[in-house]
Structure 1
Amino acid sequence: MSSTEQARWFVLGGDHLVLLDGQGQIPQGCRSQLPAELQDAPFEPFDHWEGLPCHLLDLGEEADTSAMTGLRQLMVAGDEEGFRLAGRAWQLATFRRSHRFCGECGAAMVPRAGEWAMACGQGHVVYPRISPCIIVAVRKGPAILLAAHRRHYQADDPMYTVLAGFVEAGENLEQCVAREVFEESGIRVHNVRYVASQPWPFPHSLMMGFTADYQSGEIKVQDEELVAADFFEADRLPRLPPHGTIARSLIEQCLAGDA
């Protein structure tokens, strides 16, 4: 790789941290413009962005990350493509970190030449894991079902969002939507409709977004997952997820009657 090659440089470290430039963006330019300690580092190509190659370097979980920023900052700043590609880089790095040994024979694994895969000496090959998830906006007339989740609850200013969950073995996506909504809120839904999807690198999910209509039931929250849930109309919304998330998009489309 030439030191004058123009590229975008994705430097990762710690837990979902990424190196950004002075403008809060993924560094772009030639290798010689990177910090001195990175100019000879073993970057790997993994994608392209507006005609420029994207190169990845994972400094590891124990790296000095004092100059790095949380991956979510790209999303909050509205840098959708930067967040998508940094998320892709993180999914690949997470795969490498979590597959150092073969799940079949226990032998050490190494990156396979020519593709993003890991292989052991016995010939067992694994590819990056993707976990399918559903995320769903439930409508009841002009109102939408929103919940405060325990995993990111703040008592002084709680954020409310739509319901989500992982797809289980043997069920299709529509069944997963109905099951997750009922398990978490006690609500039955029908008229389930697919809207859009979003890769979600925390750590390796693919969020598939749906809307559904309220059918029956009274709200009874699953205490292990939720703090509270309710139906909200557009004129009395709580704090919502940030723009750039599929959750926010589903909420806005649902309240606007576009989904």
Structure 2
Amino acid sequence: MDRTANIGDIAIIGNGGFPRKKAIYGFICKCRLVIFCDGAFSRFTAAKDTYGLKDRILSLPCIVTGDMDSIKPEMKGFLSAKGVLKPNPDQETNDQTKAFETAMDWISEDIRRRPHTAAASAPDNAQDIPDNAPDVPNNALGVPDNAPASYRYRINFIGATGLREDHTIGNMGLLMEYAGHKAVKDGQVSLRMISDYCIAFPMTGSGSFECGTGRAVSVFSPDSSLRLVSDGLQWQTENVRFTNWWQATLNRSSKERVALEFSHPSKVLVTLDFRPSDL
């Protein structure tokens, strides 16, 4: 089965290090919607058009969101006139989270517009992971293996890492928070982060993901009580105690598919070395 069939891709462009690989820009060109954090939009429009794809990306359906502290007043006016500006002054969340919330609102509206193809109800704003959260296995494409067979959505975070280590760590950690959203747990929406160097995605329960053999695999969790039994990794994770970030990093896949068995529903982030075929 082609896991990419019937997927509506959304790109969220953060104000970190923009990718250098042409394949990633080519992927953005195929997305249904591009959501820019406000600072990212300012930098993107001013950046060198290395691959001649900037105008094509800017011609896609687009939303610019954030607290608008990084965008010039004349640009605000232009974007507001086009109807693509969505200011969010909330100082308790960062611009990546504002963009994620904007993406979920857009998905809710899109589901309402296409009820004959949506396999799940419109996503709500629930963020907590309940004790009975279902297993949502993934593959390297970021598509849950239990995703509905009909139309579904994938949110791709690009430009979320690089330039500042504090933003990088925070943004990657937030992926695990977003995985608690009902629409993500139900498999209607999947999440992944893309950079020149890695693909990252969250897991909330036991499952597996396709990645190919010989792939660099790292696993992170903030849950010191979690126990993970792995299959398909060169070094077993069963005895890992997640008391610091490094403890399940720098592993390698020994099988085409890697399985992780959780001792209980929790928050995990998996990173794989980047391969263009994942796009």
| Structure having greater relative contact order (Cα 8 Å, sep ≥ 6) | 2
Q: TM-score, normalised by structure 1?
A: 0.32
TM-score normalised over the length of structure 2: 0.30
More helix by share: 2
Structure with larger Rg: 1
